[in-house]
């Protein structure tokens, strides 16, 4: 039997690349070095804590249209590439490492390859979205490939970082809401949108904040099993209050509807099985009794005024989602397949009153890149999401459903964004399978 296993290892693709002097044909579980571990955690810190508004303060024009092209890529992406290069070198055979991680995460590798291929096409055709292909698609794929080594210490530290930064993000949002002062306002080429006083906190744009916060709340409901129930409830309450400060209508409605349905399903399941946590039930009753008091106090301080204003006045957002479909009538089938003329699209967009953009990723990708390239990205994205979901426990369906719905309420993946990388981190870190959680606990006891 040992001989058979040795022969199988010798015949594997990774073994051929690793060479005869390599002790292991693939990165071993738990074999991540300290520099790689620290680098991956630092990537998550930069990703969640550094916004375009912060970068502008140090002369890094990330969100703008002008300036050095190198500044259009987020610092976390640069750091991730450096960590990947370091890990490949310390593995002993860089090519062998790349083959090994590609074999372990094939869908992530496919999406990275498709994105890089489309990046070359975008540059050759002189179309917008070069940096978007890197930050939006390549970065999350590369991160999933590196996290495929399943280093427990890395995941534990990432989990702590995510909870800490999201808590600070919510507190900062509520501070900005109460003081009407934005600490790191969203800027476009240095220009602050003074008419929009919605909180920007650490994530930059209010809608990006709302999307990430909504995903995090859903993850606290069906994931984050390592946290105690009182702590999870406290974080959920804090994050939902921050959602009001961010003003994302779609995110608020989706969080309430999906979160409420999930709690109802879990409650009915608990009653049907007869296994009811008495402490949790008592805590739930206490919180339910306090809800009216909290609502009255919040209303007296004007907390819901901004929320009502967002639902009454949407700055033309709902109309934009209708007008964008009328753009298709100006192009023939050939233009839609390969991508219409950019100048014509920009003119029609402004004439149609879509100055804020085309608020649907599929529609925007078809118009700016063509249906053929959109289909390639969609296939890569679908396989990538399936691969991420397979690495999580069953509760991921709630957050995955919320994520897919929220994607279609704005430009999201059709423009430069770090949202997918943040979703990947939240999913893989907070939905760690139970067997992995037990292994972490055993390691901590030792």
Flag whether pLDDT at 439 surpasses 80: no
Q: In this predicted model, what pLDDT tens digit does every residue of 420-430 receive, in sequence order? A: 999 999 999 99
**Per-residue pLDDT averaged across 164-170, rounded?**
97
Q: Tokens 């609502």 appear where?
A: 295
pLDDT, averaged across the chain? 81
Flag whether pLDDT at 25 surpasses 70: no
More confident residue, 357 or 291: 357
CB-based contact 110:380 (threshold 8 Å): yes
Q: In this predicted model, what pLDDT tens digit does every residue of 400-410 receive, in sequence order? A: 999 999 998 88
Q: In this predicted model, what pLDDT tens digit does every residue of 375-397 receive, in sequence order? A: 999 999 999 999 999 999 988 99
Q: Which helix (H) or strand (E) covers residue 350, if one does?
A: helix 342-351
Strand partners, 191: 188
**What are the two backbone dihedrals, phi and then psi, of residue 188, each rounded to the nearest 5 degrees?**
-120, 110
What CA–CA distances, in Å, run from 242 to 167, 174, 248, 312, 403?
10, 6, 10, 19, 18
Q: Which helix (H) or strand (E) covers residue 187, if one does?
A: strand 187-188
What CA–CA distances, in Å, run from 36 to 54, 154, 426?
26, 9, 19
CB-based contact 246:307 (threshold 8 Å): no
User: Is the residue at 2 inside a domain?
Assistant: no
More confident residue, 359 or 413: 413
Helix (H, G, I), strand (E, B) or coil at 422: helix
Flag whether pLDDT at 446 surpasses 60: no
**What are the two backbone dihedrals, phi and then psi, of residue 191, each rounded to the nearest 5 degrees?**
-90, 125
**pTM for the complete prediction?**
0.84
Q: What is the pLDDT of residue 130?
A: 79
User: Is the residue at 127 inside a domain?
Assistant: yes
Reported as a pLDDT band with limits 50, 70 and 90, residue 297 is low
Question: Which range among 152-156, 261-265, 420-424 shows the weakest confidence by mean pLDDT?
Answer: 261-265
Residues 444 and 152: their CA atoms lie apart, in Å, by 11
More confident residue, 2 or 123: 123
Q: What is the pLDDT of residue 36?
A: 94
More confident residue, 363 or 2: 363
Domain that holds residue 438: 32-274+316-445
User: Is the residue at 1 inside a domain?
Assistant: no
Q: What is the pLDDT of residue 301?
A: 53
Residues 388 and 391: their CA atoms lie apart, in Å, by 5
Residues 73 and 195: their CA atoms lie apart, in Å, by 27
Nearest to 403 by CA among 372, 181, 392: 392
**Per-residue pLDDT averaged across 318-338, rounded?**
74
User: Is the residue at 7 inside a domain?
Assistant: no
User: Is the residue at 154 inside a domain?
Assistant: yes
Q: What is the pLDDT of residue 16?
A: 40
Q: What is the pLDDT of residue 71?
A: 92
Nearest to 346 by CA among 327, 332, 359: 327
How many domains does the structure of the chain reveal?
1
Helix (H, G, I), strand (E, B) or coil at 61: coil
Nearest to 163 by CA among 112, 208, 217: 217
What does 253-293 look like in DSSP terms, one character per residue? HHHHHHHHHHHHHHHHHHHHHT---HHHHHHHHHHHHHHHH
**Per-residue pLDDT averaged across 65-88, rounded?**
92
**Per-residue pLDDT averaged across 229-236, rounded?**
88
Q: Tokens 């809800």 appear where?
A: 291
User: Is the residue at 12 inside a domain?
Assistant: no
User: Is the residue at 6 inside a domain?
Assistant: no
Residues 284 and 443: their CA atoms lie apart, in Å, by 33
Q: In this predicted model, what pLDDT tens digit does every residue of 331-366 receive, in sequence order? A: 888 888 888 888 788 787 777 766 666 778 888 888
**Per-residue pLDDT averaged across 172-189, rounded?**
89
Residues 200 and 183: their CA atoms lie apart, in Å, by 8
CA–chain centroid gap for 244, Å, is 20
User: Is the residue at 182 inside a domain?
Assistant: yes
Flag whether pLDDT at 266 surpasses 50: yes
Strand partners, 187: 192
Share of the chain above pLDDT 70, in %: 77
More confident residue, 291 or 188: 188
Q: What is the pLDDT of residue 139?
A: 95
């Amino acid at each position: 039997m040992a001989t058979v296993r040795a022969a199988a290892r010798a015949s594997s693709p990774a073994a051929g690349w690793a060479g005869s002097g390599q002790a292991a044909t693939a990165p071993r579980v738990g074999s991540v070095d300290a520099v790689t571990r620290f680098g991956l955690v630092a990537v998550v810190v930069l990703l969640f804590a550094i916004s375009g508004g912060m970068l502008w303060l140090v002369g890094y024009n990330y969100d703008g249209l002008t300036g050095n092209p190198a500044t259009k890529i987020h610092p976390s992406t640069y750091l991730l590439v450096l960590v990947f290069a370091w890990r490949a070198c310390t593995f002993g055979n860089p090519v062998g490492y790349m083959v090994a991680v590609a074999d372990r995460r094939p869908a992530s590798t496919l999406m990275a390859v498709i994105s890089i291929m489309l990046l070359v096409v975008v540059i050759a055709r002189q179309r917008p979205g070069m940096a978007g292909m890197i930050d939006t698609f390549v970065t999350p794929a590369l991160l999933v490939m590196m996290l495929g080594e399943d280093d427990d210490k890395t995941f534990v530290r990432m989990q702590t970082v995510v909870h800490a930064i999201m808590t600070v993000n919510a507190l900062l949002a509520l501070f900005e809401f109460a003081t009407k002062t934005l600490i790191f306002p969203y800027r476009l080429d240095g220009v602050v949108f003074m008419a929009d006083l919605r909180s920007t906190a650490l994530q930059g744009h209010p809608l990006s904040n709302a999307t990430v916060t909504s995903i995090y709340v859903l993850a606290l409901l069906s994931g984050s099993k390592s946290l105690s129930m009182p702590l999870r409830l406290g974080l959920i309450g804090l994050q939902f209050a921050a959602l009001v400060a961010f003003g994302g209508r779609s995110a608020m409605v989706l969080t309430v509807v999906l979160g409420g349905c999930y709690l109802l399903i879990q409650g009915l399941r608990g009653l049907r099985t007869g296994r009811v946590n008495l402490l949790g039930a008592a805590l739930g009753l206490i919180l339910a009794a306090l809800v009216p008091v909290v609502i009255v106090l919040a209303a007296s301080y004007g907390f819901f005024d901004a929320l009502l204003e967002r639902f009454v006045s949407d700055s033309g957002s709902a109309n934009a989602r209708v007008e964008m479909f009328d753009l298709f009538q100006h192009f023939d089938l050939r233009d839609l397949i390969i991508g219409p003329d950019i100048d014509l699209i920009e003119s029609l967009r402004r004439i149609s009153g879509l100055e804020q953009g085309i608020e649907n990723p599929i529609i925007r990708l078809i118009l700016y890149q063509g249906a053929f390239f959109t289909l390639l990205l969609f296939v890569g994205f679908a396989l990538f999401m399936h691969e991420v979901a397979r690495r999580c426990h069953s509760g991921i369906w709630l957050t995955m459903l919320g994520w897919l719905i929220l994607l279609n309420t704005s430009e999201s993946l059709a423009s430069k964004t770090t949202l997918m990388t943040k979703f990947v981190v939240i999913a893989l870190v907070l939905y760690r399978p139970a067997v992995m959680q037990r292994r972490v606990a055993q390691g901590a006891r030792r």
